[in-house]
């Protein structure tokens, strides 16, 4: 790109205005990485231009030029991803939609039309003020709508209302050629041909740039509570989850955490975890439209739990307490990050969670290392952390990862339930999927992006 750099900068400035074309490396620094643990973080390329368009038309013009000149484009959101998906690994354009953050509500259809650069934090807040509830909550509220859709994010509140793809009813996207497509809309049912919109959700910025979305919202639930249930061992904690989920009540989410780790997370943000007994704990998030419904759920869980011998349970009922618990839970990753070599995102059918946990314990014991785990047990999704320790070396780390991926696969699981493939799991996808599936995916990519200009080297390598 170097030769034509000046010409390209002029063209981009004509489109978005010179204030929004950033060429100095020092002002690009936060766009050159995401939240991937440092030892796994891919390196950013050198020759990069950061562009911040304000409209879909501007995005379209940028892509049209890039496609014509065969210049790579890296769409970035809040850069909170954990697999290097937004890292600009080749020279080209970094495309940030952060200025595109308008939100409109369609109250009659309980939907919002949201621009892709809107952050999760502001969307939750503005929806609340409009009387709506947007339940999805992956841990970093700096994530943007475009990023949440591109990664099909999950998080701690994904049981009752599902993951990101369950909220998206319509998408406006710009293809790598610059063409603008409107997919889906406000329809609750739509069987008109192949569902390209669902194909794009989770495509990690490799097929098109998402500029706007129609998102389903829920009425604000007046009644909610968060239970913390401490246990003396991991097994009883995990066993109880399946029983709770089969009892007919649907919690917002069920999380597994360990006291040692959650205490560090609390300390990290100057808070105190409210339950200090039982090293192995469940966090059960409930909401309801009536007091009775909430009470029924609580009673049902209370009937099931004694069978699994919990130490006790704690009920957070005020919004303030619930928010504090969510904030601490959301800080788990950040509080460990400086010691993390890699965070695995293993996902298995829920009935095999115990097998997965036993295998992690065995691997840790065999290798004389600590492998802290926590995660979305209600979704069969566990995060296993490989930490920097004196006795870890690259060979050992690779061996541990290989072993754990193999265990998950043998249990009918996958290498990632929510973080995605990005740049750092491209070898894992090849092991997880068949050759035919990989072939079909590469053909899809070719059809959307014949010049391979959009986020190259991500998902497919």
The contact set with ligand FAD (CB under 6 A) reads 34-35, 75-82, 85-86, 97, 116, 138-140, 143-144, 146-148, 150-151, 153-155, 204-205, 209-210, 333-334, 418-419, 455, 458
Write down the least CB distance from residue 84 to ligand FAD, Å: 8
Q: Nearer to ligand FAD by C-beta: 144 or 225?
A: 144
Q: Report the C-alpha gap between 130 and 127 in whole angstroms.
A: 5
Write down the least CB distance from residue 255 to ligand FAD, Å: 9
Q: Report the C-alpha gap between 448 and 461 in whole angstroms.
A: 16
Write down the least CB distance from residue 42 to ligand FAD, Å: 12
Q: Nearer to ligand FAD by C-beta: 301 or 345?
A: 345
Q: Report the C-alpha gap between 449 and 431 in whole angstroms.
A: 24
| Cβ neighbours of residue 31 closer than 8 Å, sequence gap 6 or more | 50, 76, 79, 88, 94, 96
Q: Nearer to ligand FAD by C-beta: 153 or 294?
A: 153
Asked if 21 and 49 touch (Cβ cutoff 8 Å), the reply is yes
Write down the least CB distance from residue 145 to ligand FAD, Å: 8
Strand ranges (E), 100-167: 103-106, 111-115, 132-133
Strand ranges (E), 21-175: 21-22, 48-51, 72-76, 92-96, 103-106, 111-115, 132-133, 168-174
Write down the least CB distance from residue 307 to ligand FAD, Å: 29
C-alpha of 455 from chain center: 18
Q: Nearer to ligand FAD by C-beta: 154 or 378?
A: 154
Q: Which residue is nearest to ligand FAD (CB)?
A: 147
Q: Nearer to ligand FAD by C-beta: 51 or 76?
A: 76
Write down the least CB distance from residue 221 to ligand FAD, Å: 21
Distances (CA, A) of 7 to 13, 65, 339, 443: 10, 11, 44, 33
Q: Nearer to ligand FAD by C-beta: 85 or 92?
A: 85
72-76 and 92-96 strand pairing: parallel
Write down the least CB distance from residue 119 to ligand FAD, Å: 8
Q: Report the C-alpha gap between 199 and 143 in whole angstroms.
A: 21
Write down the least CB distance from residue 7 to ligand FAD, Å: 25
- List, in sequence order, every residue forming a beta bridge with 331; answer none if it has no partner: none
Q: Nearer to ligand FAD by C-beta: 52 or 298?
A: 52
Q: Report the C-alpha gap between 379 and 123 in whole angstroms.
A: 24
Q: Nearer to ligand FAD by C-beta: 171 or 288?
A: 171
Q: State the sign of the Cα–Cα–Cα–Cα dihedral 4, 7, 10, 16.
A: negative
For residues 359-386, one letter each, b for 16 or more C-beta atoms within 10 angstroms of the residue's C-beta and e for the rest, the string is bbeebbeebebebbbbbbbbbbbbbbbb
Q: Nearer to ligand FAD by C-beta: 206 or 367?
A: 206
Write down the least CB distance from residue 374 to ligand FAD, Å: 10
């Amino acid at each position: 790109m170097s030769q034509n750099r000046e010409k390209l900068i002029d063209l981009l400035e004509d489109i978005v205005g010179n204030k929004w074309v950033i060429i100095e490396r020092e002002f690009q620094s936060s766009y050159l990485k995401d939240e991937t643990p440092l030892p796994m973080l891919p390196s950013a390329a050198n020759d990069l231009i950061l562009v911040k368009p304000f409209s879909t038309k501007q995005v379209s013009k940028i892509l049209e030029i890039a496609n014509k000149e065969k210049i790579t484009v890296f769409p970035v959101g809040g850069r909170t991803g954990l697999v290097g998906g937004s890292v600009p690994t080749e020279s080209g354009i970094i495309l940030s939609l952060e200025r595109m953050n308008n939100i409109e509500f369609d109250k009659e259809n309980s939907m919002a039309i949201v621009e892709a650069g809107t952050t999760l934090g502001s969307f939750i807040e503005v929806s609340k003020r409009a009387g709506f509830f947007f339940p999805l909550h992956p841990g970093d509220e700096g994530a943007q709508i475009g990023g949440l859709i591109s990664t099909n994010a999950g998080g701690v509140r994904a049981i009752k209302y599902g993951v990101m793809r369950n909220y998206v009813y319509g998408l406006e996207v710009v293809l790598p050629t610059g063409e603008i497509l409107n997919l889906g809309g406000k329809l609750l049912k739509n069987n008109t041909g192949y569902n390209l919109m669902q194909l794009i959700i989770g495509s990690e910025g490799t097929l098109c740039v998402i500029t706007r979305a129609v998102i389903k919202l829920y009425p604000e639930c007046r009644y909610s509570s968060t239970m913390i249930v401490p246990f003396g061992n991991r097994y009883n904690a995990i066993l109880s989850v399946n029983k709770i989920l089969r009892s007919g009540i649907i919690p917002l989410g069920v999380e597994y955490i360990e006291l040692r780790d959650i205490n560090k997370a609390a300390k990290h943000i100057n808070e105190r975890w409210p339950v200090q007994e039982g090293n192995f704990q469940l966090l059960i998030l409930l909401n309801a439209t009536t007091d009775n419904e909430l009470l029924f759920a609580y009673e049902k869980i209370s009937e099931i739990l004694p069978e699994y011998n919990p130490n006790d349970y704690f009920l957070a009922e005020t919004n303030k307490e619930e928010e504090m618990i969510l904030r601490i839970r959301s800080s788990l990753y950040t509080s460990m990050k400086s010691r993390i070599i890699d965070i695995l995102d293993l996902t298995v059918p829920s009935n095999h969670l115990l097998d997965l946990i036993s295998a992690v314990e065995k691997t840790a014991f065999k290798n004389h290392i600590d492998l802290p785990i926590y995660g979305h047990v209600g979704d069969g999704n566990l995060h296993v952390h490989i930490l920097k320790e004196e006795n870890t070396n690259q060979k050992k780390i690779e061996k541990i990862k290989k072993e754990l991926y193999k265990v998950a696969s043998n249990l009918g699981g996958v290498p990632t339930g929510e973080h995605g493939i990005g740049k750092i799991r491209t070898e894992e996808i090849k092991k997880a999927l068949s050759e035919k599936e990989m072939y079909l995916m590469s053909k899809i990519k070719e059809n959307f992006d014949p010049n391979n200009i959009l986020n190259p080297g991500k998902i497919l390598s």
